[in-house]
Structure 1
Amino acid sequence: MLVFEIALQIRFWGPIVVFSIGAPAACLNALLFVAIKSFRRSPSAYYIVGQSFADVTILLIVLLQIVPATSVSASSIACKLIIFSLQMTISVAMSFLCLSAFDRWACTSQTAGIRQLSSTYVARFLFPIPFIICSLVNIPFLVYCDLIPPINFCWFTNDLFMRIGTLVLFPILTVFLPLIVLIMFGLLTCRNIRFVTRIRRQANQTRLSTWEHQMTRMMLIQTLLCIFCSFPRAIFVIYAVATIDQSADRSSDQLSILDFVDYLSQSVLCINFASSFYIFLLSSPRFRQTVQVYLKHQFRLGPNHLETMNMGTRGQTLAGRQMAREITQRTVQS
Structure 2
Amino acid sequence: MSVFEAATQLSFWGPIVFFCIGVPAALFNVIIFIGFKTFRKSPSVYYVVGQSLLDVSVLLLVLLPVIPSVSLSVSSTSCKLGLFFSQVTVSGAMSFLCLTAFDRWACTSRSARIRRLNSNRIARYLCLFTFLFWSFVNIPYLIFCDLIPPTYICFSTNDVFTKIAFYFLGPFFSTVFPLLVLIIFIILTHRNIRLTAHIHDQQQPDRTRSSMWEQQMTRMMVAQTILSIFCTLPRAILNIYSAITLEQSATKSFNQISIELLIDQLTVSIMSINYVSSFYIYFLCSPRLRQTIKIHLKSLCHLTSNEVVPINNSLRAVPLTIVQNRMIQH
Distance in 1 (CA, whole Å) between partners of 2:236 and 2:126 is 27
- Answering whether residue 185 of structure 2 is matched by residue 185 of structure 1, we say yes
- The one-letter amino acid of 2:94's match is M
Q: Distance in 1 between matches of 2:38 and 2:135?
A: 32
Q: Cα 1:126–1:203, aligned 2, differ >3 Å: closer, same or farther?
A: farther
Q: 1:168 is matched with which residue?
A: 168
- Cα deviation per residue 1:210-254 (whole Å; 9 max; x = unaligned)? 011011011111001000000111111011110111111112222
In structure 2, the partner of 1:18 is: 18
Residue 81 of structure 1 deviates from its aligned partner by: 1.2
Q: Is this contact kept in 2: 1:92–1:134, CA < 8 A?
A: yes
- Specify the alignment match of 1:150 in structure 2: 150
Cα offset, 1:294, TM superposition:
2.3
Aligned residue number for residue 246 of structure 1: 248
Give the equivalent residue in structure 2 for 1:303: 304
Deviations 1:106-147 (A, max 9, x none): 100011111111111211222211111000100111111112
The one-character-per-residue Cα deviations of 1:271-299 (angstroms, maximum 9, x if unpaired) are: 1000000000111111111122223333x
Q: CA RMSD in A?
A: 2.2
Deviation at 1:151, TM superposition (A): 1.5
Q: State the SS of the aligned residue for 2:12.
A: helix
Residue 76 of structure 1 and its aligned partner are, at CA, apart by 2.1
Give the superposition deviation at 1:196.
1.1
In structure 2, what residue type is equivalent to 1:169? L
Q: Distance in 2 between matches of 1:285 and 1:247?
A: 51
Q: Secondary structure at the match of 1:68?
A: coil
Q: Answer whether contact 1:68 1:74 (CA < 8 A) is retained.
A: no
Max radius of gyration: which structure?
2
Residue 87 of structure 1: aligned partner: 87
Structure 1 runs not aligned, ≥5 long: 306-314, 327-334
Whole-angstrom distance in 2 between the partners of 1:293 and 1:123: 29
Q: Deviations over 1:45-65 (max 9, x none)?
A: 010000000000000110111
Counterpart in 2 of 1:220? 222
Indicate the residue corresponding to 1:42 in structure 2: 42
C-alpha separation between the residues in 2 aligned to 1:159 and 1:208?
54
CA gap 1:155/1:16 in 2 versus in 1, 3 angstroms: same
Aligned-residue offset at 1:5: 0.5
For these two proteins, the number of residue pairs brought into alignment is 309
Instruction: Give deviations 1:164-203, integer Å, cap 9, x for gaps.
Output: 111111111111111111100000000000011249x769
- C-alpha distance in 2, partners of 1:149/1:67? 23
Task: Show the counterpart of 1:105.
Answer: 105
Query: Which residue does the alignment assign to 2:267?
Result: 265
TM-aligned CA deviation for residue 259 of structure 1:
1.2
SS at match of 2:194: helix
Take 1:246 and 1:205, find their aligned partners in 2: how far apart are those partners? Answer: 60
Instruction: Give the conservation status (yes or no) of the 8 Å contact 1:147–1:153.
Output: yes
Equivalent residue number for residue 212 of structure 2: 210
The whole-number CA distance in structure 2 between the counterparts of 1:240 and 1:190 is 33
Amino-acid identity (%): 52
Q: What is the aligned partner in structure 2 of residue 138 from structure 1?
A: 138
Name the SS for the 2:22 alignment partner. Answer: helix
